[in-house]
Amino acid sequence: MHSQVLPAVLLLLLLLLGASAPQGEGAEPGDRGQEQVPEGVPEENGVLVLNRSTLGLALQQHPALLVEFYAPWCGHCKALAPEYSKAATLLAAESVKATLAKVDGPAEQELAQEFGVTEYPTLRFFRDGNRTHPEEYTGPREAEGIVKWLQRRVGPSATQLEDEESAQALIDAQDTVVIGFFQDLQDEDVAAFLALAQDALDLTFGLTDRPQLFQKYGLTQDTVVLFKKFDEGRADFPVDNELGLDQADLSRFLLTHSLHLVTEFNSQTSPKIFTARILNHLLLFINQTLATHRELLGGFREAAPPFRGQVLFVAVNVDADNDHVLQYFGMKAQEAPTLRFINVETTKKYAPAGREPVTATSVSAFCHSVLNGEVKPYRLSQEVPPDWDQKLVKTLVGENFEQVAFDETKNVFVKFYAPWCTHCKEMAPAWEALAEKYKDRQDLVIAELDATANELEAFAVQGFPTLKYFPAGPGRKVVEYRSARDLETFSKFLDNGGELPEEELAEEPPGPSPEMANATTPPKEEL
């Protein structure tokens, strides 16, 4: 019996000695059977630096963890880095119980694959150590926006109001405040309301179940009220007693009614204008430095209320930095004051028939005539330049596009660009080099068209640059080019008859620039 016990005692002693040995001893390099648990996680500028070994520890230690998967070569990641570090500082200063971390995706491919990372930067939010179901980050890419997004998740997304004083204080604090009046705060409609509040970062939210507050604001049923310090001052969204609160309908309601009846177009308002989901826009072009022009805003605003939710009324100051808007509508600043109407989905544009004065009556009549199909849209087109075919890259405009692009004897590769588009400017040398390379090919035309000054009946150009290939032969065939914008890849595409070899298909260029506004979706770079 002793002979059987002794080896067991020796084994126990060996195990105890091994446990007390310095960390890392007794294990072969690369042995993943018993990974060493790190004692701490390194930081850079307040941001945890994680890898495969430390992610689990970070999840244990931090109940609310936002992780950025980045690539060292990614330009968007480099732009995000200072804002991300600033957000970490703000979180600490405001005592928000959330932590920021980052992972080098290319260096930690196992983690990138585990969390479905296909582009950089990608941000995932982990709650309570749950590794299997992280939430995708959908907020802004600047420090204050990151902090607010996290605040709405780790704390209440709406302030609970107990009395008239607290309600009035919240309403007074901001230009727009949303308060949900619910008779039962345990109702599922409240959960939908709070979920919406998590992502509507530009609005302040409150909620209450107090009868005295229902009475003060004249309510007898569950209602979401938008209080605002402009226009009507208040807009009510009653909750359907049978169907409950429809989150999508409420979101549209808040987007629509949080906008001014007349919104001035500028870099701050353009994202809201294009995310309001109102497809019809009526634009008044005026010179804000002229009193006679400013006076027209009164009649413009007076005409707006009946069209709220159907037509967005926008004022464009031609004296400000809005040249690209004027160009998009084929206008000159001297034409102000004038109206233009556009459907942003079809990009069809409409102009008044004459130079009628801008009044509430004329504005309303123009709106109705467009909506009723009584006005034909106009298309922009420049005159055909005399030397349009003299350069290596041929110049197309609206008037000669059909003739050139659908010539059955030619293969035509066209770049649709905007003069102000950064991506277009970056690819211009490659496009010139392509035309130089194939200048002796009689059956091949390399061309470009300024799509801000020329519109086509065949199709609408939604972003810049857009590249399309029109192969020779009958049938008006069109091939969309969606790959790297360099001479080598362009050449492979042309040499292969307007198709890319399979190994090139995975390469995607940067996203196109939108026509009239800054991108509203945060940029990313694909793997």
SS3 of residue 104 by DSSP = strand
Active site residue 367: no
Spatial CB neighbours of 449, under 8 Å, sequence gap ≥ 6? 395, 396, 397, 401, 414, 415, 416, 417
Whose tokens are 């600043």? That residue is 333
Q: How confident is the model at residue 369 (pLDDT cuts 50, 70, 90)?
A: very high
For residue 295, give Cα distances in angstroms to 260, 261, 289, 301, 364. 17, 16, 11, 11, 17
Q: Check residues 195 and 513 and name the one with the higher pLDDT.
A: 195
Report pLDDT digits (tens) over 137-172: 999 999 999 999 999 999 999 999 999 999 999 999
Assigned token pair, 41: 């996680």
Report pLDDT digits (tens) over 441-472: 999 999 999 998 898 888 888 789 999 999 99
In this predicted structure, the answer to whether residue 522 has a pLDDT above a threshold of 60 is no
Average pLDDT over residues 501-511: 56
Distance separating alpha carbons of residues 421 and 512, to the nearest angstrom: 9
DSSP string, 155-209: S-SSEE--SHHHHHHHHHHSSEEEEEE-S-TTSHHHHHHHHHHHH-TTSEEEEE-
Report the chain's terminal Cα–Cα distance, integer Å.
64
Distance separating alpha carbons of residues 208 and 164, to the nearest angstrom: 10
Q: How confident is the model at residue 503 (pLDDT cuts 50, 70, 90)?
A: low
Distance separating alpha carbons of residues 210 and 224, to the nearest angstrom: 14
In the prediction, which pLDDT does 516 show? 47
Q: How confident is the model at residue 125 (pLDDT cuts 50, 70, 90)?
A: very high
In the prediction, which pLDDT does 34 show? 35
Distance separating alpha carbons of residues 62 and 46, to the nearest angstrom: 14
In this predicted structure, the answer to whether residue 508 has a pLDDT above a threshold of 80 is no
Q: Check residues 180 and 320 and name the one with the higher pLDDT.
A: 180
Catalytic residue among 331, 336, 421, 516: 421
Please count the other Cβ atoms lying within 10 Å of the Cβ belonging to residue 134: 18
E-only strand ranges, 318-432: 338-343, 348-350, 394-396, 411-417
**Structure-derived torsion over alpha carbons of residues 80, 86, 88, 89, reported in degrees to the nearest 10:** 170
Distance separating alpha carbons of residues 31 and 59, to the nearest angstrom: 23
In the prediction, which pLDDT does 355 show? 84
In the prediction, which pLDDT does 295 show? 97
- pTM for the whole thing? 0.68
For residue 288, give Cα distances in angstroms to 61, 173, 299, 300, 329. 56, 30, 15, 14, 19
In this predicted structure, the answer to whether residue 521 has a pLDDT above a threshold of 50 is no
Report pLDDT digits (tens) over 210-264: 999 999 999 999 999 999 999 999 999 999 999 999 999 999 899 889 999 999 9
Active site residue 421: yes
Average pLDDT over residues 56-79: 95
Amino acid, res. 516? M
Whose tokens are 């901001």? That residue is 174
Judge residue 320's burial from the number of C-beta atoms within 10 Å of its C-beta, 0-12 exposed, 13-18 middle, 19 or more buried. middle
Catalytic residue among 47, 48, 74, 396: 74
In this predicted structure, the answer to whether residue 525 has a pLDDT above a threshold of 60 is no
The DSSP H or E segment spanning 269 is: none
E-only strand ranges, 173-306: 176-181, 204-208, 223-228, 234-238, 262-264, 280-286
Distance separating alpha carbons of residues 475 and 384, to the nearest angstrom: 25
In this predicted structure, the answer to whether residue 506 has a pLDDT above a threshold of 80 is no
Q: How confident is the model at residue 39 (pLDDT cuts 50, 70, 90)?
A: low
Q: Please state, rounded to an integer, the average pLDDT across all residues of the chain.
A: 88
Of 349, 436, 461, 455, whose CA–CA distance to 396 is shortest?
A: 455
Active site residue 77: yes
